[in-house]
Amino acid sequence: MFSNVSLPAKENENTIEKTIKRNKTSSDNDYSLQCSPKKKHTETENKKTEKSEIEKTEKSENEKTEKSEIEKTEKSENEKTEKSEIEETENNGFERLKFDNHTTFDIKCSESKPWISSIDELPNGNVVLTDFCNCKLYVYNQSLEIYKAIDVSGKPCAIAVINSDKIAVTLQEKKSVALVNILTRKTFRYLNVEDSCHGITYTDDNLVLNCLEKGLTIISLDGAVQNTISDVTGEAYLCSSDNGNIYCAVYWSHKVLCFNRHGDEVYSFSNLTMKCIRGISVDHQGQVFTSEFGKNKIHVINSEGTKSHVILSKKHGINNPLCVHFNRNDMCLYVSNNDGESVSMYKLDSSSE
């Protein structure tokens, strides 16, 4: 009897304990099912974020390293090129000119920023500058002080000195040449050339123009055409020597051409490393200077038109040079620098003449 009464109680206790255990296990499993995916998801996201940050850091470091290597390579290549040019110059016997006493003066203008597109000198040693943006001519004395400013009726591209009183200026947009009297500061004649002209020079009592489509055109001071060199078209800049030779820098062709007073070609010099030749000038020995706008370099070509080398570069303060002019009175080189906003003067070292 007693056993029949106690057994159900024990079984009930066991049953209750089993039920509690099952419920506890079920509850733990449910909690695990509910929390584990979220926790795993968070851990996965953290790992992804950490990985992404690591990859970004590595990418940034790689880019910096690559940029540094590119800069080093470019610097090395430039140094090699410059060294090669120096060695080539020394090996071929081309005497290297040296310029020192670097002086820079800013162009004072109350209007827009200046854009000095051309430089020439008067017989008395004063320097004339063309300001393309402000439609002005500036005359500077030998102390680099502005002497006078002259207004012109268009944007002056290039200039040629005729004598101590008169100068000729190409007005590119107006397809004409203005003849200006410096003393009166007035334009006394316009020569209509019916073509966009850039460079200009004066030799043998005639003007030589670079006409975009017609080619090099030689005209008298009253506008009569004397001769045409139709082979040289496109944008080009000019200068001339005392013996009547005409020198032409063709902007996009890597070429400098030389013609005699009759229009016959004396030489054609080509250098593929010379790009965007924007200015040209010749010294008393027939050596030609050119300004290379895109690569911040001033080149000199020997009088035979067979060799060249870099005479001034960025380390000398050359920065986006527009034009160049050799002043024979003061034996110095003028460079329209910094996109034409200033003019730098380099004195020729007398020991290098």
Q: Would you write out the chain's pLDDT as a tens digit for each of its 353 residues? A: 334 434 444 444 455 455 445 544 444 444 443 444 444 555 566 666 666 666 666 666 666 666 666 666 556 655 555 555 444 444 444 556 788 767 888 887 767 899 999 999 999 889 999 999 999 999 998 777 888 999 999 999 999 999 999 999 999 999 999 999 999 999 999 999 999 999 999 999 999 999 999 999 999 999 999 999 988 888 999 999 999 999 999 888 889 999 998 889 999 999 888 878 989 999 999 999 999 887 899 999 999 999 999 999 999 999 999 999 999 888 899 999 999 999 999 998 866 55
Q: pLDDT value at position 77?
A: 58
Q: pLDDT value at position 146?
A: 82
Q: What is the DSSP letter of 339?
A: T
CA distance linking residue 99 with residue 90, whole number of Å: 17
Which residue reads 């090099």 in tokens?
216
Q: pLDDT value at position 145?
A: 82
The pair of three-digit structure tokens given for residue 338, joined into one six-digit string: 């910094």
Indicate yes or no: pTM above 0.85. Answer: no
The pair of three-digit structure tokens given for residue 175, joined into one six-digit string: 């397809």
Q: pLDDT value at position 33?
A: 37
Record: fold of 96-352: Neuraminidase (2.120.10)
Domain range list for the chain: 1-93, 96-352
Cβ atoms of 262 and 231 closer than 8 Å:
no
The pair of three-digit structure tokens given for residue 67, joined into one six-digit string: 């940029």
SS3 content of the chain, % helix, strand, coil (to 5): 30, 40, 35
Q: pLDDT value at position 244?
A: 93
Q: pLDDT value at position 41?
A: 52
Q: pLDDT value at position 121?
A: 94
Q: Sheet holding 116-121: strands in order across? A: 116-121, 127-131, 136-140, 146-151
CA distance linking residue 201 with residue 321, whole number of Å: 20
Q: pLDDT value at position 348?
A: 85
CA distance linking residue 316 with residue 319, whole number of Å: 9
CA distance linking residue 81 with residue 102, whole number of Å: 24
